[in-house]
Amino acid sequence: MIRDRVRKILEELPEGVALVGAAKTRTVDEILQAVDGGLRIVGENYVQEAEKVFQTVGGRVKYHMIGHLQTNKVKKAVQVFDVIETVDSVKLAKEIDRQCQKFGRVMEVLIEVNSGEEAQKAGAMPADVPSLAEEISKLQNVRLMGLMTMGPISEDPEVPRPFFRRTRDLFDALKRMGLPNVQMRYLSMGMSDSYRIAIEEGANMVRIGTAIFGERHYDP
């Protein structure tokens, strides 16, 4: 069932749009079924869960951090993840840079944009994104590759559309800035109920969980 869902979604996605399997609380067996169906990017919200998957699945997939990352988890995170999609402060970016320097690697990151300017959500406010991008561009072991947003959650998939559009406008503006060491390549927007709208608004990376794995397990 999971394999079939992944195959169906991959067939539906336009060329050039990458699928991130949002695997929060999912078992390793469920993730392996998705990989067998063609999933090549696993998105995790927690470093510990990603470590468990990495031990079993290994290098068959790329690993994206799609949850809020605390600075005290960065050391482990840079050893597991290929991309961190949720950078929202200079402090976090600098800690990623510092830890990556120890391991001799460069981490690809996205800035998480709080496109709805919601007080309860993580992410940089839209007005702060250009200055944050400038600061990240100065770091040697971090490479800014694009933006990520969630947008307000709603049962109506049209609700986040203007917020996706706002993030796309920011993405285009950062491209025009031509910052050194910055490649605005990925625009990560949209989840199971909104990814089609996100693609219409320019997303080339979508984070899908429920439509692949079914309803989420209990999250303590």
Would you say 155 and 120 are in contact if contact means Cβ atoms under 8 Å apart?
A: no
DSSP annotation of 183 reads: E
Q: Give the distance from CA 51 to its chain's centroid.
A: 17
In a domain, 218, yes or no: no
The amino acid occupying position 30 is E
Q: Give the distance from CA 86 to its chain's centroid.
A: 6
Long-range CB pairs of 79-82 (<8 Å, 24+ gap) are: 79/103, 80/47, 80/50, 80/51, 80/54, 81/44, 81/50, 81/107, 82/108
Tally of domains in the chain: 1
In a domain, 139, yes or no: yes
User: Positive or negative, the Cα torsion across 63, 83, 97, 163?
Assistant: negative
In a domain, 53, yes or no: yes
Domain span including residue 171 = 2-213
Percent of the chain with pLDDT over 70: 98
In a domain, 112, yes or no: yes
CATH number at residue 21: 3.20.20.10
Locate 102 and state its tokens: 């120890």
User: 153-211: per-residue pLDDT in tens?
Assistant: 888 889 999 999 999 999 999 999 999 999 999 999 999 999 999 999 999 999 999 99
pTM, 2 dp: 0.96
pLDDT by residue, tens only, the chain of 220 residues = 999 999 999 999 999 999 999 999 999 999 999 999 999 999 999 999 999 999 999 999 999 999 999 999 999 999 999 999 999 999 999 999 999 999 999 999 999 999 999 988 999 999 999 999 999 999 999 999 999 999 888 888 899 999 999 999 999 999 999 999 999 999 999 999 999 999 999 999 999 999 999 986 544 4
In a domain, 21, yes or no: yes
In a domain, 219, yes or no: no
In a domain, 29, yes or no: yes
In a domain, 200, yes or no: yes
